[in-house]
């Protein structure tokens, strides 16, 4: 009996697919190599060779009331401060100060709580004290210190905090420390190794050099084009070496080139799925970068008149459970927002005291969070960078929360791996979920009156795509070491396939 001959159209399809596979592969070979090497480096450097710092946060301590002699009003009057945005207490170098954020942009003043004298260059001095505390380094010389109000190549938007002080130290690791003085937070720290990692990742993975010479739209568009080509190249390889595998099984391996070709096919089939998932999730994630970053603008900071506090807070005294306090305003009332020391579970709660009556109100925090959600919805809708003039008349259009039901309110004291991960930085926060069409959820940091995160179904879909398909968070059950190892091996497999394909193209 005669064997069935392969139809001509099948032969032609095979030939064209193979031709397109080679062409598409060689077009994207350099981007794939760059993406794989930089992607391979990321889990290795960020996990197994992650730099450390002596202290990652400033531990909360009870307010030393013996160092507080003057009220806020007395201090502001003495220094002729007529309006202010907010205040809190900070203690360093043996003294306690009222840290006052004024109505002037990025101006933070420090007044001794005992005698009311102003500490000249107080914010700069406090930034230095914080950075030395975080490093546990009192000896190294500071080579540069500057207030940073924008994100850049070494201080990414994922660090969230702005403005921050950047302090550079004369050390073997050329350490840069970024601190937010208004919350006493460590924003990030960059030794030499991390600076190198950031440059490599920015250059070879995010292609930020394209944005610097063109614009973000061109940068993302080119990346999406190449990722699309990679997807078609991977799919054509799967069709050729998967569905037409019987053709190649009969090929006798007699030389090195044939061996390389065989390995290219087998490894290519093995990593085809992760190639597609890397390309899809990377492209999907890149599109989100076209959206303007507005979280640093999402803050409610009304002006307070100093005269309004002439007869208030005089009888309110800190006790041993207070870690700090500031002031908030809504519904035409002012409340003292008291941050309590962490409890046995490490949770830091707030309590609210009416500034006029001195009576605690236990219902305010949730009401205030709802109030802030309304303001941020308005700001999201109109892309405003300033708080609306009359916050009592906010029209909620961003996510239709005006007529929606608040279906869930919860307090987060730790990050989770689902929706509010460590990349969001701020804790504790209040999670507020609304019954809107896009399941709008606000994460609000009450102590700073800031929006920590804004999540809709579209954000969740992209977030899950990137977390599962790009960062392999579905393997968290196995531990971070195993997860990062599998991710690194996957990137290595794609790299090997690409290099083998390049070799075969050159030999051809």
- pLDDT > 90: what percent of the chain? 47
pTM of structure? 0.87
Find the mean pLDDT for residues 215-224.
91
Largest distance between two CA atoms of the chain: 108
Tell me what pLDDT residue 405 has: 87
* Band of pLDDT at residue 491, cut at 50, 70 and 90: confident
235 versus 508: the higher-pLDDT residue is 235
Tell me the pLDDT of the chain averaged across its residues.
85
User: Across the strands, what pairs with 408?
Assistant: 433
Residue 144 forms beta bridges with which residues?
Answer: 168
Give the mean model confidence (pLDDT) for residues 392-406.
57
Q: For 258-289, what is each residue's pLDDT tens digit?
A: 665 666 666 666 677 888 889 999 999 999 98
Is the confidence at residue 399, as pLDDT, over 50?
no
Long-range contacts of 1-5 (CB under 8 A, 24+ apart): none
Q: Which residues have C-beta within 8 Å of that of residue 45, sequence separation ≥ 6?
A: 193, 194, 197
Higher pLDDT, residue 503 or 233: 233
Mean predicted confidence (pLDDT) in 92-109? 95
Dist. CA 319–CA 323, nearest whole Å? 9
Asked, as a colleague might, if the bond just before 393 is cis with ω within 30 of 0, I would say no
- How much is the pLDDT for 40? 82
- Residue 347 scores a pLDDT above 60: yes
pLDDT digit string, tens, across residues 38-48: 888 877 776 66
- Name the nearest CA neighbour of 267 among 246, 241, 244: 241
Q: How many helices (H) and strands (E) does the chain have?
A: 12, 16
Rounded CA Rg of the chain: 29
């Amino acid at each position: 009996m005669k064997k069935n001959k392969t139809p001509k159209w099948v032969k032609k399809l095979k030939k064209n697919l193979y031709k397109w596979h080679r062409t598409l592969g060689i077009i994207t070979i350099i981007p794939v190599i760059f993406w794989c090497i930089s992607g391979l480096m990321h889990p290795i450097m960020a996990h197994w060779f992650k730099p450390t710092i002596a202290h990652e946060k400033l531990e909360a301590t009870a307010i030393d009331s013996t160092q507080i002699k003057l009220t806020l009003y007395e201090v502001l009057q003495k220094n002729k401060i007529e309006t202010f945005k907010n205040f809190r207490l900070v203690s360093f170098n043996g003294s306690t100060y009222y840290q006052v954020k004024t109505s002037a942009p990025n101006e933070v003043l420090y007044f001794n709580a005992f005698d009311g004298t102003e500490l000249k260059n107080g914010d700069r001095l406090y930034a230095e004290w914080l950075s030395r505390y975080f490093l546990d380094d009192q000896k190294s010389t500071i080579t540069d210190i500057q207030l940073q109000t924008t994100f850049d190549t070494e201080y990414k938007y994922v660090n969230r905090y702005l403005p921050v002080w950047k302090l550079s130290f004369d050390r073997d690791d050329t350490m840069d420390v970024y601190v937010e003085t208004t919350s006493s937070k460590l924003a990030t720290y960059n030794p030499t190794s991390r600076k190198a990692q950031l440059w490599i990742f920015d250059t070879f993975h995010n292609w930020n050099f394209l944005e610097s010479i063109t614009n973000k739209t061109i940068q993302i568009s080119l990346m999406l084009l190449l990722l699309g080509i990679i997807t078609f190249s991977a799919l054509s390889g799967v069709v050729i070496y998967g569905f037409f595998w019987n053709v190649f099984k009969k090929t006798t391996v007699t030389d090195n080139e044939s061996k390389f070709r065989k390995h290219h096919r087998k490894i290519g089939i093995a990593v085809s799925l992760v190639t597609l998932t890397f390309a899809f999730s990377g492209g999907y994630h890149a599109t989100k970068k076209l959206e303007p970053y507005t979280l640093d603008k999402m803050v409610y900071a009304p002006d307070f008149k100093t005269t309004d506090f002439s007869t208030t807070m005089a009888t309110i005294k800190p006790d041993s459970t207070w870690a700090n306090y500031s002031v908030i305003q809504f519904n035409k009332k002012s409340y003292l927002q008291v941050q309590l020391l962490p409890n046995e579970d490490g949770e830091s709660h707030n309590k609210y005291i009416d500034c006029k009556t001195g009576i605690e109100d236990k219902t305010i925090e949730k009401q205030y969070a709802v109030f802030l959600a309304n303001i941020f919805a308005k700001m999201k809708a109109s892309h405003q960078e300033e708080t609306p003039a009359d916050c009592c008349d906010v029209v909620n259009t961003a996510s239709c929360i005006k007529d929606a039901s608040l279906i869930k309110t919860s307090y987060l004291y730790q990050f989770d791996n689902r929706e509010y991960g460590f990349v969001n930085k701020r804790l504790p926060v209040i999670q507020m979920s609304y019954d809107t069409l896009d399941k709008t959820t606000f994460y609000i940091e009450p102590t700073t009156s800031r929006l920590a995160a804004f999540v809709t179904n579209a954000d969740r879909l992209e977030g899950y795509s990137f977390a599962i398909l790009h960062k392999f968070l579905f393997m968290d059950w196995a531990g971070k070491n195993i997860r990062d190892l599998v991710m690194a091996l996957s990137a290595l497999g794609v790299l090997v396939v690409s290099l083998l394909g390049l070799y075969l193209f050159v030999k051809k």
